Every structure is written in structure tokens, then in C-alpha cells.
């Protein structure tokens, strides 16, 4: 319920409703402890405003952890635009009005929150927002921005897949069966990189056109509803979050999980079940940080493309640290990554815990 969702321990929730488009806007700032909150704008059709608040809160929390574990001087936040219908049924005049209202809301936060692209928003949407507010990452390159973050994200996810396979005793991806769910901006690139590395690709999407392209490229299509029942060596969720709950964790026929989606696990219990079965899972807020390196690196820290690549390739090393800590302490990989992130969020308490 909305009451439950407002009992949230982040820093700020902003909401607004636009009667003309029947759209509800949510911005949640989880933490500004390490810098201005940042995280993308997600547009989707939600069953209720409570669901939209919940999604924004979980995604904002993941951004705080992503920035902290990645050593970026930013906090965590997220925007959710709860549309009156699925995105593909919103006409362009309505969409422009929606973006303009969202931009007004962001502008009122005066830089405490910086947005960027996420599911169902892209660089040209960021260009539109930037006509009203300057607190926007990921405008198109022609418009002075860093452009799409998807390629950097895919590069980092690929490093995460390799590091996870290696640690799980699978060696390199050569000859391994990799299942990629979601062939969008990130997943499409992940498929290409994994294929180049010699993996056998199983692919799933809900969009027939994307499946056809993948099939023409020689990959094997798996029905979208069969993903959690399809045997593979490594599963790469690159569509939506919340796909592995405890029941799925108990049965998913894979040895490792590493993907781009935010909040892949529904809760900590799912992570514990995976661990008990020896399924090694790359915490998503570590694995998918390439996009944050790209946007914050290029637009805040003055990095060039090589710097972004170098830091993104470091995701494999961060995961090795996470996996070693998880083994040493006998905790889930998610819990280990949380320890690393929290050490940066509150250095004093982390030092106390370590001694
Ligand atoms: P996208 O919208 O380009 O691609 C998503 C793909 O998943 C689409 O092809 C869609 O048809 C497919 N899909 C949706 N529901 C599905 C289902 N039930 N089964 C199979 N396929 C399904 O999104 P993008 O940018 O590739 O992002 C993918 C995920 O990675 C999202 O969860 C996003 O939050 C996350 N992510 C993206 C980053 C970026 O830089 N783009 C950075 C960090 C995380
Ligand atoms: N939405 C993407 C993510 O979850 C990219 C992004 C990163 C957007 C940082 C804004 C800020 O990481
Ligand atoms: K997008």
C-alpha cells in the first residue's frame, strides 16, 4: 500500500500528478551522503502508485550502493514516471508534456538529484529534459552530453560474466552456454561480446524483431516464459529486475548469474538460496556500474573514453574482492558487496566492525 511504501528510510520522496495525461511522477532520493543523488528516469505502466513508489525506492537504494562501491562521488536516487498506458501507446505530444513536467520537478530539487536514461528513456529524452533543467546526464553527443550509457554497461557486464564464470570454476566463456534475457541496448551488446568470446548463446526477449535478428546471427531462441527453466552455465538477466525470488533461486538450472538488470534478486533470501546451491551471483549494483562510470565519469569527473573503459574493466577486480569476502565470511555475494559499499558510506562504523 501507499502507507507502507511511504514508510521508507531514504532522504526524500517527491510526487506529482498530472490530470491531463493521467500520469504520476515520483522522484526518490535515497542518499546524498557521498554527493548529489543520481539515477535514471524509468517510465512504465504500474499496477498502482504504491508499486511505482516501491520501484523508485528500491532502484534509488541500488544507485546509492552502485555509486559507493564504484567509488563515484555521487549519492543515489531514481525517478519513476507512472504512465497511464504502456510506453508504446503514449503519443509524442503526450510524451513531450510528460517529460516537461518531469523536468520541472527535477529543477525544483536544485541539483540535489541528477537524472539520466533508464528503461524507456533515451538520450533524446534527456535532450528534451535539458531544455527545462540542467540536472541531466546522458544527453545526446550532438547536444553536448555523453550519449548512451548502454555500451559501457555492456562492457562491464561482460567483465562481470567472465570474472563470475572463472570464480565458479568454469574457466573462460569459450564453449560455455550463456543465456541472455533481454536483447535491448545492453543485452544486445552483451550477446555480441559473449559470442566473440566463444560462448554458445541462448537468447530470450518479448520483442519478435529482436529475436529474429538474434536468430539470424546464429543464436538459439528460448521462449521468454522458459528462461528460468532453461539449463545454462551462466544466466545474464538484461531485461527487468525482480526475476529471481526464493522459488526461482531454488530451481534455476544454472551455475552462475551475472547481468545488467537492477535488483535481479527480489530479496536477500533469494541470494541465500542461490548460495546454498552453489550458484554464484554477481551483485547487480557492482556488475552494471559501467553506465554510471560513463555518465558520471564523462560529465562530472572530466574523464575521456579510455578512462571510462579502464574503470569499467575494473568491475572484474571489484567482483573478485566481493567473492573473496563472501568466501572468507561465509556470507552471500550480495551481503559481501553491501559490506564494501557501506564501508564507503560510513567509514567509521566499517572500521569498528573490522577490528
Ligand atoms: P532496453 O529497454 O534497451 O532493453 C530491454 C530489453 O528487454 C528489450 O529488448 C525488451 O523487449 C526486453 N524485455 C522486456 N521484458 C522482457 C521479458 N519479460 N523477457 C525477455 N525480455 C524482455 O534496456 P537496456 O538499456 O538494455 O537495460 C536493460 C536492463 O539493464 C534494465 O533493467 C536497466 O535498468 C539495466 N541497466 C541499464 C543500464 C544502461 O546503461 N542502459 C545501466 C545499468 C542497468
Ligand atoms: N540507469 C542506469 C543505471 O541504473 C544509468 C545511470 C547511471 C543513469 C547513473 C543515471 C545515473 O545505472
Ligand atoms: K533506455
Query: 243 phi and psi, to 5 degrees?
Result: -95, -15
CA distances from 153 to 115, 189, 289 (A): 17, 9, 6
Ligand 1 environment, Cβ below 6 A: 118-119, 149-150, 153, 181-187, 204-207, 210, 224, 238-241, 260-262, 288, 291
Q: How far apart are CA 44 and CA 24, in angstroms?
A: 10
Report the complex ipTM. Answer: 0.98
Ligand nearest the Cα atom of residue 262 = 1
* Distance of CA 228 from the midpoint of ligand 2 (Å): 26
* Distance of CA 116 from the midpoint of ligand 3 (Å): 9
pLDDT of residue 355: 45
pTM of the model as a whole: 0.96
* Distance of CA 182 from the midpoint of ligand 1 (Å): 6
Mean pLDDT by 10 residues, the chain (355 residues): 94 98 98 98 98 98 98 98 98 98 98 98 98 98 98 98 98 98 97 98 97 97 98 98 98 98 98 98 98 98 98 98 98 98 80 49
- The pick from 28, 36, 39, 67 for probing ligand 2's pocket by mutation, whose C-beta has the most ligand atoms within 8 angstroms, reads 39
pLDDT in tens, 18-59: 999 999 999 999 999 999 999 999 999 999 999 999 999 999
Name the residue at shortest CA distance from atom 20 of ligand 1: 205
Catalytic option among 78, 108, 134, 162? 78
* Distance of CA 76 from the midpoint of ligand 1 (Å): 20
* Distance of CA 177 from the midpoint of ligand 2 (Å): 28
- The pick from 187, 188, 235 for probing ligand 1's pocket by mutation, whose C-beta has the most ligand atoms within 8 angstroms, reads 187
pLDDT in tens, 175-203: 999 999 999 999 999 999 999 999 999 99
Give ion ligand 3 contacts, CB < 5 A.
Answer: 117, 122
pLDDT of residue 352: 52
pLDDT of residue 1: 87
Q: How far apart are CA 183 and CA 88, in angstroms?
A: 17
* Rg of the chain taking only CA atoms, in angstroms: 19
Report DSSP letters for 190-246, one per residue.
Answer: HHHHHHHTTPEEEEE-S-HHHHHHHHHTTPEE--GGGGGGS--SEEEE-S-S--B-H
162 is an active site residue: no
**Beta-strand relationship, 113-114 and 177-181:** unpaired
Ligand 2 environment, Cβ below 6 A: 38-40, 116, 118, 137, 149, 262, 288, 291-292, 295
Amino acid at each position: 500500500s501507499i502507507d507502507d511504501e511511504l514508510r521508507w528510510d531514504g532522504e526524500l520522496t517527491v510526487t506529482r500528478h498530472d490530470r491531463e495525461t493521467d500520469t504520476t511522477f515520483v522522484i526518490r532520493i535515497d542518499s546524498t551522503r557521498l554527493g548529489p543523488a543520481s539515477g535514471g528516469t524509468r517510465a512504465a505502466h504500474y499496477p498502482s502508485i504504491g508499486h511505482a513508489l516501491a520501484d523508485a525506492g528500491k532502484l534509488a537504494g541500488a544507485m546509492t550502493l552502485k555509486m559507493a562501491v564504484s567509488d563515484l562521488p555521487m549519492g543515489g536516487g531514481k525517478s519513476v514516471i507512472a504512465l497511464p498506458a504502456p510506453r508504446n501507446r503514449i503519443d509524442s505530444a503526450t510524451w513531450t508534456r510528460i517529460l516537461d513536467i518531469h523536468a520541472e520537478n527535477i529543477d525544483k530539487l536544485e541539483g540535489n538529484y541528477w537524472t539520466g536514461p533508464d528503461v524507456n528513456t533515451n538520450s533524446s529524452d534527456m535532450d528534451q529534459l535539458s531544455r527545462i533543467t540542467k540536472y541531466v546526464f546522458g544527453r545526446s553527443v550532438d547536444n553536448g552530453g555523453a550519449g548512451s550509457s548502454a555500451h559501457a554497461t555492456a562492457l562491464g557486464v561482460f567483465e562481470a560474466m567472465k570474472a563470475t564464470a572463472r570464480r565458479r570454476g568454469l574457466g573462460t566463456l569459450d564453449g560455455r552456454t550463456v543465456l541472455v534475457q533481454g536483447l535491448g541496448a545492453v543485452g544486445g551488446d552483451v550477446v555480441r561480446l559473449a559470442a566473440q568470446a566463444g560462448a554458445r548463446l541462448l537468447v530470450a526477449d518479448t520483442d519478435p524483431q529482436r529475436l529474429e535478428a538474434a536468430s539470424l546471427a546464429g543464436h538459439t531462441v528460448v521462449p521468454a516464459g522458459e528462461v528460468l527453466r532453461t539449463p545454462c552455465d551462466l544466466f545474464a538477466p538484461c531485461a527487468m529486475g525482480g526475476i529471481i525470488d526464493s522459488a526461482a533461486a531454488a530451481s534455476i538450472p544454472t551455475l552462475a548469474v551475472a547481468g545488467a538488470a537492477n535488483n535481479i534478486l527480489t530479496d536477500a533470501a533469494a541470494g541465500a538460496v542461490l548460495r546454498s546451491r552453489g550458484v554464484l551471483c554477481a551483485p547487480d549494483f557492482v556488475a552494471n556500474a559501467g553506465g554510471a562510470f560513463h555518465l558520471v565519469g564523462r560529465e562530472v569527473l572530466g574523464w575521456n573514453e579510455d578512462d571510462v573503459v579502464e574503470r569499467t574493466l575494473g568491475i572484474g577486480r571489484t567482483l573478485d574482492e566481493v567473492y573473496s569476502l563472501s568466501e572468507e565470511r561465509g556470507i552471500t555475494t550480495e551481503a559481501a558487496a553491501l559490506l564494501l559499499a557501506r564501508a564507503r558510506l560510513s567509514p567509521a562504523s566499517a572500521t569498528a566492525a573490522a577490528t
